[in-house]
């Protein structure tokens, strides 16, 4: 059985969540990794994120408003509006819900990644956890950004081939028939804000994935801990049986306490 007895700062989980904290901060969700400063706490960063939050909320509101203002849509545009206009308001609640519970999430991550791992940490389980969280996160990000790119690419082809209007996402304004320069600039701006919006959603999914993965593999880590208790008897000689039994009993109590704290 391989397990780490080094200080926590040297563990892969700490390094992984330090990087995760920076990614979350870039995605508009700073301050979730309690033991690692993200470096994104300056006032200018907070002002930028507040401005982007206003832009994203306004963008989602304008999408919903398109149901009432856009009456000249093609069948494809109606389908896109129906899908995106319903999905985006629901998905955008995730970052706000996570922000509301930020302190509880900070404490949960600290307990799972620091407090419990100070007692016992299986390096192999830790490696599997970071790899699994990374793979799932990359899959989510690739799916979301592939959709964004495909929408933009398809509209660019539409503009080039038919001299049409660049309209990857339908909003309450401008009207789909509006061909003014201001309308074109507004549509491009909405597309860029859409990227910001989906970046926030990606960050929310990323946080959910790493929390779920960390909790899941903590139970695997506990299982490894209980299996490792057999080493107490293997390392003890026949003459030291009584002392080994005492160590096993104390270690077993520690395992029960770890399990209880994990359930918390």
- Same domain for 145 and 264, yes or no, is no
Whether residue 257 is found in the same domain as residue 145: no
pTM: 0.89
Residues 122 and 146 in one domain: yes
Residue 107 scores a pLDDT above 80? yes
Q: How far is CA 121 from CA 149, 158, 205, in A?
A: 41, 55, 26
pLDDT digits 0-9 by tens, 6-65: 334 446 777 888 889 889 999 999 989 876 655 566 788 889 999 999 999 999 999 999
- Residue 20 placed within a domain: yes
138 and 233 fall within a common domain? no
pLDDT in tens, 135-194: 999 999 999 999 999 999 999 999 999 988 999 999 999 999 999 999 999 999 999 999
Angle between helices 93-100 and 102-110 (to 10 degrees): 70
pLDDT of amino acid 4:
40
Give tens-digit pLDDT for 200-213: 999 999 999 999 99
Note whether 55 and 155 are same-domain residues.
yes
Decide: 8 and 119 in contact? Cβ < 8 Å: no
Full domain range(s) for residue 165: 8-213
Whether the per-residue pLDDT at 90 is higher than 70: the answer is: yes
Residue 2 lies in a domain: no
Residues 6+ apart with CB under 8 A from 123: 2, 3, 4, 12
Do 186 and 262 share a structural domain?
A: no
Give yes or no: residues 209 and 236 share one domain: no
Phi-psi region of 73 (alpha: psi -120 to 50; beta: other; left: phi over 0): beta
Query: In this structure, is residue 219 part of a structural domain?
Result: no
pLDDT of residue 3: 38
pLDDT digits (tens, 9 = 90+) for 215-234: 999 999 999 999 999 888 88
Say whether 3 sits in a helix, a strand or coil: strand
- Average confidence (pLDDT) over 92-115: 93
- Number of domains composing the chain: 2
């Amino acid at each position: 059985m391989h397990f780490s007895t080094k200080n926590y700062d040297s563990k892969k989980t700490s390094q992984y969540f330090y990087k995760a904290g920076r990614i979350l901060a870039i995605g508009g969700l700073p301050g979730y990794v309690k033991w690692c400063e993200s470096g994104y706490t300056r006032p200018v960063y907070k002002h930028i994120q507040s401005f982007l939050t206003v832009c994203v909320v306004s963008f989602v509101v304008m999408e919903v408003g398109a149901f009432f203002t856009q009456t000249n849509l093609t069948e494809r545009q109606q389908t896109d509006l129906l899908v995106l206009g319903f999905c985006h308001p629901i998905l955008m609640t995730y970052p706000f819900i996570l922000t509301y519970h930020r302190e509880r999430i900070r404490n949960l991550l600290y307990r799972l990644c620091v407090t419990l791992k100070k007692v016992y940490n299986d390096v192999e389980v830790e490696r599997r956890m970071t790899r699994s969280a990374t793979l799932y996160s990359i899959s989510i990000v690739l799916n979301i950004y592939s959709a964004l790119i495909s929408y933009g690419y398809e509209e660019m082809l539409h503009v080039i081939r038919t001299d049409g209007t660049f309209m990857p996402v339908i909003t309450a304004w401008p009207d789909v028939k509006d061909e003014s320069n201001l309308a074109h600039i507004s549509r491009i701006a909405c597309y860029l804000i859409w990227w910001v919006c989906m970046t926030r959603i990606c960050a929310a999914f990323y946080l959910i994935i790493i929390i779920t993965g960390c909790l899941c593999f903590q139970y695997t880590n506990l299982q490894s801990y209980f299996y490792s208790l057999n080493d107490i008897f293997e390392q003890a000689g026949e003459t030291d049986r009584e002392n080994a039994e005492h160590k096993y009993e104390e270690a077993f109590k520690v395992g029960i306490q770890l399990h209880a704290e994990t359930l918390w």
